[in-house]
Structure 1
Amino acid sequence: MRLCLLGDSIAAGVGSTRREDTLGPLLAARLRAAGHAVDLSVHAVPGARSADLRAQVRAAVASGVDIAVVVIGANDLTRFIPAHVGAQQLHDAVAELRLAGAEVVVSTAPDLSVVAHVPPALRDVVSAVSRDYAQVQQQAVIRAGGVVAHVERVVTPRFAADPSLFAADRFHPSAAGYREIVEALAPAVEAVATRHHA
């Protein structure tokens, strides 16, 4: 089973000191534990926005992909990309992966209000904007035939309560943070893996 990680620095594993504590290897380990033979490739690029997915999708399709896990949205938010623009780019990426025969699981934009750099006075606004962006993304993913993993709902309160889930830069996840994300992401990935296997 060819598992491909696409998207931004979270999908690429920035913040963890060990590669095996990042999303790709952790998800691959979960799938192997469930009895799947897994070949992992990571096409994600730190700093990527939804506009950058097209090149990543092309690379994934060229090398072969059965399950694509896409993590995208944080950089669109920090660069003020309008939700409908980013969501359309995400839709097109998911549609192209589906056309290539891949199952697609998407983790939408995180709630950036939990990041330490956000001033307390702006947290509510940032949270609302993050949620709205994720909502528009979600509709686009479903329309394109992908599956949405509601990672942010599960991990946002945990990241807000536990600074150790952040790396030293206080922006990216630590190894412990990546494990929390995988716990929230894995059920959707395992479900499509079972479906694909069948």
Structure 2
Amino acid sequence: MSTLHFHVLGDSLAAGVGCASADQTLGHRLTETLRRDGHPVELRVHAVSGARSADLAPQVRAATAATVDLALVVIGANDLTSLTPPQVGAGLLGSAVAALTGVGAEVVVATAPDLSIVSAIPGPYRELVRHASALYAGAQAEAVDRAGGSVAAVGAELFTAFRADPGLFSADRFHPSPRGYALIADALAPHVLDAARKRNVRGY
């Protein structure tokens, strides 16, 4: 089996802010999952803390300048906090996914999280934030689908787990802790494995 060139793009969640070491990050955890599934993997991480969808273009250029077989894009939290209109952010994400699929990559996207789980959000505003997060993620999902990527629909149970367990957050109470990243990686793993297997079926 040929080497799978796996690239991780996006924001601080993709970069691993809150982790104590590189092996705790999403990219490294998912690389180990892929290797256990029999894939020789080369990992490259282009993600930048604080990135919004408007910042994906240079990350995409870096990925497509190299060989990219599989890409994970984690984006949306900073678009929400900066009040980026859903159609604007989704359009930028769609362009990024189209550029990656255009060079033959399988692309998995983790859309905007439910920011209502963050403890700093005042109680009266939680439902509003939950609704805004869902609206943004929905617009992203439509754009990703049109661009030929796949959405990692992690499910409400992941956000419920974070809401119930403060230990899944790091000291800043915003980014995940290593335990939180492990939980997110487990939720993303089936989607990433499915994409890697699809690529093998396609005969690359």
How far, CA to CA, are the matches of 2:23 and 2:156 in structure 1? Answer: 25
How far, CA to CA, are the matches of 1:57 and 1:169 in structure 2? Answer: 29
Q: Which residue of 1 aligns with 2:62?
A: 59
Task: Name the aligned partner's letter for residue 149 of structure 2.
Answer: G
Q: Which residue of 2 aligns with 1:188?
A: 191
- Asked if the contact 1:108/1:152 (under 8 Å) is kept, the reply is no
Return the match for 2:135 from 132, 151, 171: 132
Number of residue pairs matched? 198
Q: Which residue of 1 aligns with 2:114?
A: 111
Q: Determine whether 1:26 maps to 2:40.
A: no
Return the match for 1:70 from 69, 73, 78: 73
Q: Which residue of 2 aligns with 1:16?
A: 19
Q: How does 1:113-192 map to 2 (within 5 A)?
A: 113-151=116-154, 153-192=156-195
How far, CA to CA, are the matches of 1:83 and 1:152 in structure 2? Answer: 20
Task: Name the aligned partner's letter for residue 6 of structure 1.
Answer: L
Report the identity percentage. Answer: 55
Could you list the structure 1 runs, at least 4 aligned residues long, displaced by more than 3 angstroms after superposition. Answer: none
Return the match for 1:84 from 70, 76, 87: 87
Task: Name the aligned partner's letter for residue 68 of structure 1.
Answer: A
TM superposition shift of 1:154: 3.5
Task: Name the aligned partner's letter for residue 39 of structure 1.
Answer: E
How far, CA to CA, are the matches of 1:76 and 1:176 in structure 2? Answer: 25
Task: Name the aligned partner's letter for residue 147 of structure 2.
Answer: A
TM superposition shift of 1:153: 2.6
Cα shift readout 1:21-49 (whole Å, capped 9, x = no counterpart) = 11000000000000000000000000000
Cα shift readout 1:138-193 (whole Å, capped 9, x = no counterpart) = 00000100000012534110100011000010000010000110111010100010
TM-score by length of 2: 0.96
In structure 2, runs of 5+ residues without a counterpart are: none
How far, CA to CA, are the matches of 2:28 and 2:48 in structure 1? Answer: 16
TM superposition shift of 1:103: 0.2
Other structure's SS at 1:6 match: strand
- Asked if the contact 1:91/1:144 (under 8 Å) is kept, the reply is yes
How far, CA to CA, are the matches of 1:147 and 1:159 in structure 2? Answer: 24
Other structure's SS at 1:105 match: strand
Task: Name the aligned partner's letter for residue 115 of structure 1.
Answer: V
Q: Determine whether 1:5 maps to 2:8.
A: yes
- Asked if the contact 1:154/1:184 (under 8 Å) is kept, the reply is no
RMSD: 0.7
